[in-house]
Amino acid sequence: MAEKTCELFDCGHRACGGCGAALAARLVTKAAGKDSIFVSSTGCMEVFSTPYPETAWKVPWIHSLFENAAAVASGIEAALKKQGRKEKIVIMAGDGATFDIGMICISGAFERGHDFTYICYDNEAYMNTGIQRSGATPYDASTTTSPAGKCSFGNKRPKKDMPAILAAHGAPYVATTSIAYPADLLQKVEKAIATPGPSYVQVHAPCCTGWGFEGEQTIAIAKLAIETGLWVNYEMIDGKITKVKKVVRKPVEEYLKTQKRFRHLFKPIRQDAEIAAIQAIADKNAEKYGIDIKLNKKE
Amino acid sequence: MMEITEGSHAVAEAVRLCRPQVVSAYPITPQTHIVEALADFVANGQLDAEYITVENELSALSACVGASAAGSRTYSATTSQGLMLMAEVVFNAAGMRLPIIMSIANRALGAPLSIWNDMQDSISLRDSGWLQFYAEDNQEATDLHLLAFKVAEDNSIQLPAFVCFDGFILSHTYEPVDMLTQEDVDKYLPKFNPAERLDAADPISFGMYATPEYYLEFRYEMDQAQKRAKDVIAKAGKEFGEMFGRDYSALIEGYRLEDADTAIVAMGSICGTVKDAIDEMRTAGMKVGLLKIRVFRPFPAEEIAKMLSHVKRVAVLDKNISLGAKGATAMEVRDALYGSAIPVKGYVLGLGGRDVRKRDIKEIVAFSEKGPNDQFYGLRKELI
Ligand SMILES: Cc1ncc(C[n+]2csc(CCOP(=O)(O)OP(=O)(O)O)c2C)c(N)n1
Ligand code: SF4
Ligand SMILES: [Mg+2]
């Protein structure tokens, strides 16, 4: 079965039906091609793709720990250099591995300037261990460690701005993209890989299990994140924002009400102030990145 | 050629001659002179390696994991707090069967902070799957690196190895060391050629996860490789002896032990002091000998039982303590002698750099005939 397809991230993995991260793996391996070495961190992707003795990866792949993918990749790059080999190195790590526990390794590796591409598949929480919050969890999302309750509306802080942090390290290419826009994703990953030095691509990868929606809604929800301005697709070259996906913005409510992690904002009573606070985050994004398409008033 | 040199420099020179392709380490006292010397070698073209200046020890060993999996000979060095920060990767590298060599300039663990010598650091990781070599002097510290690379990289072993030598006592001491030449080392140590590596032409997956149906066998295989390492060390140690005149085929060594009534068991630089004390005790007519452990993992239990079969009592010196239990060596030696009637007494001493002198060894020998089974030796009573 596996031999018959031309995918490098193949069928037979054990992700939930409709998993955004699995789709990201398929697209990223397609963009990287077979002359690449993949490095994963501990998390959903590692677990659903490599239950011994099976593997979904048809490219060389290594997983060491939760926090050290960038350091492992640094060593691989050094070894390839010494051996005169030319494979591309691609890291695929979760948001927990990237925003939180792997920060030191990532900072060191980007500062040293290794030639690799770091892809963060961002499903906005620690999914593998049962949906706990991470530094990428959005404001007010309910997770198992930031549960909504009588005294809480869920996660108390907005997402950490990881792309800006890596751009500040001097990364020549930083981009955000989404599994809802495969052409954009493929193009950005190719560009990241072609750029010498460390590059970073953050992929919005909705998680039906962790966010609470039906698996067939994954793409629609990823699109709504962009259409409401809660996720922005852009490119940063040498620290400057060069390309932004523009939208005719919808109210954030349309995105929030599709997912159980935001259900407490609507039931048992509607939390207008919280919804307004989230709308303000989208408005700020719109202003910062210039995503709004101005409609002709006469129409 | 004999050279008067510092232990760290002799070790760095031996590592250079082993031609690692990737070196990744983070400075920590008393290991610093090794990594500084290697950085110098790379900067001056004497070592053709990538030297990755990482941001901490966890990344140092993680980079070695990546480089080794990609098929390069890799080296790191650390001690104490650095080794503890690496601990998660230490177990991981062994599980992935990556033959990384790491020097440990043995040092105590905080708190309280101590930069001085004992063996708590490497002993605390004795269950990790790494081979563990312990040097008595700088000649051994130097030679054991060659042996370690050869054994670890053997396709029947594929386990990483610590080469341990006492911080300051050896690392910062100048003494004569017979330095080998590049030609010598190239003859002894074949090129690293692992059976499996990360390679786009032949993709495999490293570091997968294993369900309960598979995990136990992975650990069994590692334990088997540890046990096989005894023979591989014997062979590689003998070959070393034939080529350079110093035979390392034995995992343990006896000193004036053949007719001894009391055997002292020890590891590392303390063995030198013990030998001097034994010479003096022998002159006074006492039948005392030393059993030196050079390889702690794999643990030479049968070899120890055989070598000690004739003695009347055993005194084990431990520069480590499994708090709430005993010194690690005492526990393992007692286990090795299980079933014999030979009494084994354990002495925890020298922790955090407390000096151990000849007269201490003599006192311990006297204690071993009466005294309790296990004790801290050399406590300052006024502080307790
Ligand atoms: C040092 C360490 N701490 C904690 C864990 C437990 N753990 C494994 S995966 C994971 C979360 C992974 O989150 P993320 O990187 O976002 O990936 P996801 O599972 O969401 O795809 C955690 C907390 C671990 N494996 N190692
Ligand atoms: S829990 Fe989420 S990220 Fe993990 S496999 Fe399921 S859908 Fe994918
Ligand atoms: Mg996640």
pLDDT digits (tens, 9 = 90+) for B179-221: 999 999 999 999 999 999 999 999 999 999 999 999 999 999 9
Place of tokens 């997912």: A259
Residue ranges of the domains in chain A?
Answer: 20-289
Half-sphere exposure of A279 (CA within 13 A, CB side): 13
Asked if residue B113 and residue B256 are part of one domain, the reply reads no
Full strand arrangement of the beta sheet holding B295-297: B50-53, B22-25, B74-78, B101-106, B161-166, B131-134, B295-297
- Calculate the CA dihedral of residues A96, B200, A29, A104 and round it to 10 degrees: 20
Question: How far apart are alpha carbons B182 and A83 in whole angstroms?
Answer: 21
Give the domain range for residue B53: 2-244
Fold classified for A20-289: Rossmann fold (3.40.50)
pLDDT of residue A11: 80
Instruction: Return mean pLDDT, chain B.
Output: 98
A vs B, Cβ pairs < 8 A, gives 163
CB A150 within 8 A of CB A264: no
Asked if residue B226 and residue B169 are part of one domain, the reply reads yes
Domain stops at, among B189, B214, B244: B244
Is the ipTM beyond the 0.90 threshold?
A: yes
* CA separation, residue A204 to residues A110, A122, A136, A181, A224 (Å): 21, 5, 11, 10, 12
Question: Is some CB atom of chain A closer than 8 A to the CB atom of B78?
Answer: no
Ligand 1 pocket: which of A128, A160, A207 to mutate (most atoms <8 Å of CB)?
A128
- CA A179 – ligand 3 centroid, Å: 15
| CB < 8 Å to B214, chain A | 52-53
Question: Is some CB atom of chain A closer than 8 A to the CB atom of B89?
Answer: yes
List the shell of residues around ion ligand 3, using CB closer than 5 Å: A 94-96, 123, 127
Nearest ligand to residue A210 Cα? 2
Residue B111 is given by DSSP the state S
Report the gap between the CA of B101 and the closest CA in chain A (Å).
15
Asked if residue B211 and residue B271 are part of one domain, the reply reads no
Asked if residue B93 and residue B139 are part of one domain, the reply reads yes
Question: Is some CB atom of chain A closer than 8 A to the CB atom of B65?
Answer: yes
Q: Domain containing B22 — which CATH number?
A: 3.40.50.970
CB B68 within 8 A of CB B100: yes
Cβ–Cβ below 8 Å for A72 and B62: yes
Is it the case that residue A3 has pLDDT exceeding 80? Answer: no
Asked if residue B161 and residue B120 are part of one domain, the reply reads yes
β-bridge mates for residue A236, sequence order? A174, A241
Asked if residue B274 and residue B161 are part of one domain, the reply reads no
Question: How far apart are alpha carbons B326 and B320 in whole angstroms?
Answer: 9
Q: Which of A61, A72, A78 sits opposite B205 (nearest CB)?
A: A61
- Residue minimizing CA distance to atom 3 of ligand 2: A207
pLDDT of residue A160: 97
Chain A: residue whose CA lies nearest to B88: A65
Q: Can you spell out the DSSP letters for B117-165? A: --SHHHHHTTTSS-EEEE-SSHHHHHHHHHHHHHHHHSTTT---EEEEE
Question: How far apart are alpha carbons A282 and A226 in whole angstroms?
Answer: 10
Asked if residue B231 and residue B308 are part of one domain, the reply reads no
pLDDT tens digit string along B142-185? Answer: 999 999 999 999 999 999 999 999 999 999 999 999 999 999 99
Cβ–Cβ below 8 Å for A50 and B205: yes
* CA separation, residue B257 to residues A53, A292, B266, B338, B384 (Å): 51, 86, 13, 20, 37
B80-95 and B215-244 helices cross at what angle (nearest 10)?
110
pLDDT tens digit string along B262-307? Answer: 999 999 999 999 999 999 999 999 999 999 999 999 999 999 999 9
pLDDT of residue B337: 98
- Calculate the CA dihedral of residues B280, B284, B285, B291 and round it to 10 degrees: -20
- Nearest-Å Rg of the Cα atoms of chain A is 19
Q: Report how many domains make up chain B.
A: 2
Question: Is some CB atom of chain B closer than 8 A to the CB atom of A39?
Answer: yes
Band the pLDDT of A4: cuts 50, 70, 90.
Answer: low
Domain stops at, among B226, B244, B262: B244
